[in-house]
């Protein structure tokens, strides 16, 4: 079983990820990790923080000469912005009154976190709840993606919608796995231009926007997950992984909510005879039936809400005084849907790698690969 633990605050010294359970013998491509981090930091509508943080992953343990040892792999990302925040964030001692935040921001973890952890300063909550955490998750996810790639399993995706600008076309995996636009990660250039105009309009009004990302998995064989216990259901586990990504408010697989508006004859994928078994001519189930992979492409979509930090601020309450105030405009993005897509790919890869390793075991990559290839 592969597990991931991340640690670190948004403006702390750095971010750490510990991956346990990776088999020995996986060659780690650091260039691919850093390239993935660069995509996460890109996209139309991003804020000033991305010009400060130029993330480059550093491996602290579990890898020697670019190859995993079977021990926990630790990845570190330095927060370059820490030098601007050390006076109020240093764990060794600092002035916590500096940059104190009590005007809790709607849509953030501020208020609920202050209540849960008994805090009088939302800074002690928001620093960890921040989407900055996703940077190290992307690094860890790329390592898991590289493990899946050894088995012939590929993970990809694209931005399907930004606000009300949505692409209704269906694309082959080869198309979305190809070279995507670096602007917003959309497939249709004309729609992408409309999406950029929508982002500009939001920015001009001090507002923000979200969108929808679509994730695909190609090459996963049938039988991963289970129908026997709900904890093992593949769609439940992968949906939970996607819902764990900051700002994701909804997840669907296959037709998703669209299935509820159709008749059964328009929803279920019929089976037809084929050499060695059977085949499907449609994939409305999104590659999962009864909580198990059925050998078809996995198809997930995740909805990202608009970023809750608005330049013009929203009505809120000062937790210290109980008086109405306007929420503080912390440095933020207008749109981060491309980043969300990249993080969702990572979350999917991490959970899939765990699912595969749980079923097949193996202390080395070669053991895992041979067991995967032996599956029908």
The confidence score (pLDDT) of residue 49 equals 62
pLDDT bin (cut points 50, 70, 90) of residue 48 is low
pLDDT of residue 313: 86
Mean pLDDT of 347-373: 98
E strands, 25-78, are 58-61, 63-64, 67-68, 73-78
Burial category of 91 from C-beta neighbours within 10 Å (exposed 0-12, middle 13-18, buried 19 and up): exposed
In this structure, what are the phi and psi dihedrals at residue 50, rounded to the nearest 5 degrees? -70, -20
Give residue 184's pLDDT band: very low, low, confident or very high (50, 70, 90): very high
Q: At residue 26, does pLDDT exceed 70?
A: yes
Q: What is the pLDDT of residues 290-301, one digit of tens each?
A: 999 999 999 999
Of the options 3.60.150.10, 2.40.70.10, 3.40.50.300, 3.20.10.10, the CATH number for the domain spanning 3-373: 3.60.150.10
pLDDT in tens, 77-132: 999 999 999 999 999 999 999 999 999 999 999 999 999 999 999 999 999 999 99
pLDDT value at residue 276 = 81
Q: What element of type H or E holds 274?
A: strand 271-274
Average pLDDT over residues 275-302: 96
User: What pTM does this model have?
Assistant: 0.96
- Return the CA Rg of the chain: 22
pLDDT of residue 51: 64
Residue 5 has pLDDT above 70, yes or no: yes
Kindly list the domain boundaries of the chain, sorted by start residue.
3-373
The end-to-end CA distance of the chain, in Å, is 22
> What is the helix (H) or strand (E) element at residue 96, kind and residue range?
none
Report the C-alpha dihedral over residues 182, 187, 192, 193, rounded to 10 degrees: 90
Q: What is the distance of C-alpha 134 from the center of its chain? A: 7
Q: Is the pLDDT of residue 59 over 80?
A: yes
Q: Give the whole-angstrom CA distance, residue 336 versus residue 351.
A: 23
Neighbouring-strand partners of residue 300: 215, 253
pLDDT of amino acid 275 = 87
Helices (H), the chain: 30-40, 49-52, 82-89, 110-117, 123-129, 134-150, 173-176, 189-204, 234-243, 337-360, 365-373
pLDDT tier, 54 (very low <50, low <70, confident <90, very high otherwise): confident
The 10 Å Cβ neighbour count of residue 206 is: 12
Residue 269 has pLDDT above 80, yes or no: yes
The percentage of residues in the chain with a pLDDT greater than 90, rounded to a whole number, is 93
- Backbone dihedral region of 89: left (phi > 0), alpha (psi from -120 to 50 degrees) or beta? alpha
Distance CA 298, CA 288 (A): 7
Instruction: Give the pLDDT band of residue 309 (cuts 50, 70, 90).
Output: confident
Confidence at residue 140, expressed as pLDDT on a 0 to 100 scale: 98
């Amino acid at each position: 079983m592969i597990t991931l633990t991340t640690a670190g605050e948004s403006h702390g010294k750095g971010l750490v990820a510990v991956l346990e359970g990776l088999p020995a013998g996986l060659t780690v491509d650091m260039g691919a990790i850093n390239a993935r981090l660069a995509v996460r930091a890109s996209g139309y509508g991003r804020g000033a923080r991305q010009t400060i943080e130029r993330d480059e992953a550093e491996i602290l343990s579990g890898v020697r000469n670019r190859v995993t040892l079977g021990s926990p792999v630790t990845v570190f990302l330095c927060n370059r912005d820490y030098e601007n925040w050390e006076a109020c964030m240093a764990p060794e001692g600092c002035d916590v009154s500096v940059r104190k935040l009590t005007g809790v921001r709607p849509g953030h973890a501020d208020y609920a976190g202050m209540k849960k952890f008994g805090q009088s300063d939302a800074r002690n909550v928001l620093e960890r709840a921040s989407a900055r955490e996703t940077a190290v998750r992307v690094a860890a996810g790329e390592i898991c993606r590289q493990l899946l790639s050894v088995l012939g399993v590929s993970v990809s995706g694209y931005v399907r919608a930004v606000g009300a600008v949505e692409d209704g076309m269906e694309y082959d995996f080869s198309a979305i796995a190809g070279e995507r636009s670096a602007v917003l990660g959309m497939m249709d250039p004309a729609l992408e231009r409309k999406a950029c105009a929508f982002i500009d309009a939001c920015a001009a009004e001090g507002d923000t926007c979200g969108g929808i990302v679509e994730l695909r998995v190609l090459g996963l064989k049938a039988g991963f997950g289970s129908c026997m216990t709900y904890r093992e259901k593949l769609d439940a586990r992968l949906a939970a992984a996607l819902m764990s990504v900051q700002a994701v408010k909804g997840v669907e697989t296959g037709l998703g909510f669209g299935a509820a508006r159709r008749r059964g004859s328009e929803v279920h994928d019929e089976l037809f005879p084929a050499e060695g078994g059977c085949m499907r001519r449609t994939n409305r189930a999104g590659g999962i039936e009864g909580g198990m992979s059925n050998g078809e492409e996995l198809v997930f979509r995740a909805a990202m809400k608009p970023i809750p930090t608005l330049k013009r601020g929203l009505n809120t309450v000062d937790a210290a005084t109980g008086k109405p105030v306007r929420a503080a405009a912390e440095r933020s993005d207008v749109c981060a849907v491309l980043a969300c897509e990249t993080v969702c790919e990572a979350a999917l890869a991490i959970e899939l790698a765990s699912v595969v390793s749980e079923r097949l075991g193996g202390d080395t990559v070669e053991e895992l690969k041979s067991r995967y290839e032996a599956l029908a």
